[in-house]
């Protein structure tokens, strides 16, 4: 039996999309709450016990996922009274693990969509005899991540979280947010106080000569830290670019959930998902977007790379590109919103209020 800890907590700011009421791990991606994809992939890799370490809004997870039986998992929930940081959260749940001191425990960040071969990370861990093994990926701008330079054998030389100066940017290899810990290493994290696994545990282990092994894997990887990234992730799940056994239907250009109604001449493409009870009107064109449950897109609207929140309404002929419309918001007819605009939940934009083009 292999166990896992899923980190879904922190101060919440980065996890809650600015304009959607639902906390991000529960916002549907390809028809199911985002967390379902991570849990289903862990199950597929042979994990059977997952402890969800959370510090906020724990009450939204348990009613949905319950004991995990539907996913073939045994799921437990642990809520921190105050956020304990990534390392503190791990230490706080270690007592829930049944694994022996020498056994591997998978740990993963809750805001990552990835095609990581979890079995390969576990194998790397076993064959290298490491204390901790880390999934690494390459990015063009590593500044928002943990930098992890390795030697020729993949052994980690340093761990530099969110480098501040150009001199600190020594590699494009970053921590991809999935680890295998030898269980006894988790037990050495101090209890009862906040600890950052990135800023304290990893550098401390390295300073004491511990063996941290990196596994660079260039599979699909996306940090869902922004609503825009979330939309991208949802579309990639629908398109099948991001592999998940939990996509709520067949992969392809679009995914229309059973109770949604889409006009026959509407065009859906680029991994667009139309959620339960949502309505798409005649002649609408929607590409690479997520239309959440109960939303309404009126006739002739054109939407690309956007998130339409639950119960939101997009008026006729309105054009949206790279926009987040919060739950319950209304964008009246004949508006044109672009590039990063966020319409707050439950607000209303009158018809013809905002345009980018010069006339009409």
Rounded CA gap, 321 and 305, in Å? 6
Q: Assess 111 for contact with Mg ion (CB under 5 A).
A: yes
Give 256's strand partners: 274
Among 146, 271, 287, 315, binds ligand GDD (CB under 6 A): 146
Q: Which of 68, 104, 110, 288 binds ligand GDD (CB under 6 A)?
A: 110
Residue 84 binding ligand GDD, by CB under 6 A: yes
Q: Name which position in 26, 53, 121, 296 contacts ligand GDD (CB under 6 A).
A: 53
230 φ/ψ sector (left φ>0, alpha ψ -120 to 50, else beta): alpha
Nearest one of 349, 312, 334 to 22, comparing CA atoms: 312
E strand or H helix at 287: strand 285-287
Q: Which of 3, 76, 111, 298 binds ligand GDD (CB under 6 A)?
A: 111
Task: Please state, in angstroms and rounded to a whole number, the distance separating the CA atoms of residues 214 and 174.
Answer: 10
Q: Which of 243, 235, 185, 199 is nearest to 219 (CA)?
A: 243
* Rounded least distance, CB 34 to Mg ion, Å: 13
**Minimum separation from the CB atom of position 24 to ligand GDD (A):** 9
Residue bearing tokens 């004949």? 334
Tell me which residues in 199-218 interact with ligand GDD (CB under 6 A): none
Q: Does 80 bind Mg ion (CB under 5 A)?
A: no
Q: Does 249 bind ligand GDD (CB under 6 A)?
A: no
Question: Which pair of tokens denotes residue 159?
Answer: 């761990």
Residue 22 structure tokens:
């639902």
Residues 181-200: x where in contact with ligand GDD by CB under 6 A, - otherwise, as a string: -----------------x--
Residues that bind ligand GDD (CB under 6 A): 7-10, 14-15, 53-55, 80, 83-86, 89, 109-112, 145-146, 161, 174-175, 177, 198, 223, 225
**Which residues of this chain interact with Mg ion, rule CB under 5 A?**
111, 225
């Amino acid at each position: 039996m292999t166990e896992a800890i899923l980190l879904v907590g922190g101060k919440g700011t980065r996890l809650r999309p600015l304009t959607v009421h639902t906390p991000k791990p529960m916002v549907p991606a390809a028809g199911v709450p985002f967390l379902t994809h991570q849990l289903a992939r862990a199950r597929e890799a042979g994990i059977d016990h997952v402890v969800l370490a959370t510090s906020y809004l724990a009450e939204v997870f348990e009613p949905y996922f319950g004991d995990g039986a539907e996913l073939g998992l045994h799921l437990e929930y642990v809520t921190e009274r105050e956020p304990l940081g990534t390392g503190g959260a791990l230490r706080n749940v270690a007592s829930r693990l049944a694994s022996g001191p020498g056994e591997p425990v998978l740990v993963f960040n809750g805001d990552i969509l990835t095609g990581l071969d979890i079995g390969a990370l576990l194998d790397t861990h076993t064959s290298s005899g490491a204390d901790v093994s880390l999934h690494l990926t390459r990015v063009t701008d590593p500044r928002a991540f943990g930098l992890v330079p390795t030697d020729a054998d993949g052994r980690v030389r340093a761990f530099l979280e969110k480098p501040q100066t150009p001199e600190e940017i020594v590699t494009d290899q970053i921590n991809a947010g999935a680890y295998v810990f030898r269980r006894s290493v988790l037990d050495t994290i101090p209890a009862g106080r906040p600890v950052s696994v990135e800023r304290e545990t990893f550098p401390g282990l390295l300073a004491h000569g511990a063996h941290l092994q990196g596994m660079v894997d260039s599979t699909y990887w996306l940090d869902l830290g922004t609503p825009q990234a979330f939309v991208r992730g949802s579309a990639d799940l629908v398109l099948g670019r991001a592999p998940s056994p939990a996509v709520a239907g067949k992969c392809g250009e679009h995914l229309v959930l059973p109770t949604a109604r889409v006009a026959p001449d509407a065009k859906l493409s680029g991994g667009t998902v139309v959620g339960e009870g949502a309505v798409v009107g005649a002649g609408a064109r929607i590409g690479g977007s997520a239309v959440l449950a109960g939303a309404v897109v009126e006739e002739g609207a054109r939407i690309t790379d956007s998130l339409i929140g639950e119960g939101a309404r997009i008026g006729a002929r309105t054009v949206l590109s790279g926009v987040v419309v919060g739950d319950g918001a209304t964008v009246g007819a004949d508006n044109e919103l672009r590039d990063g605009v966020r319409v707050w939940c439950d607000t209303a934009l009158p018809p013809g209020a905002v345009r980018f083009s010069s006339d009409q």
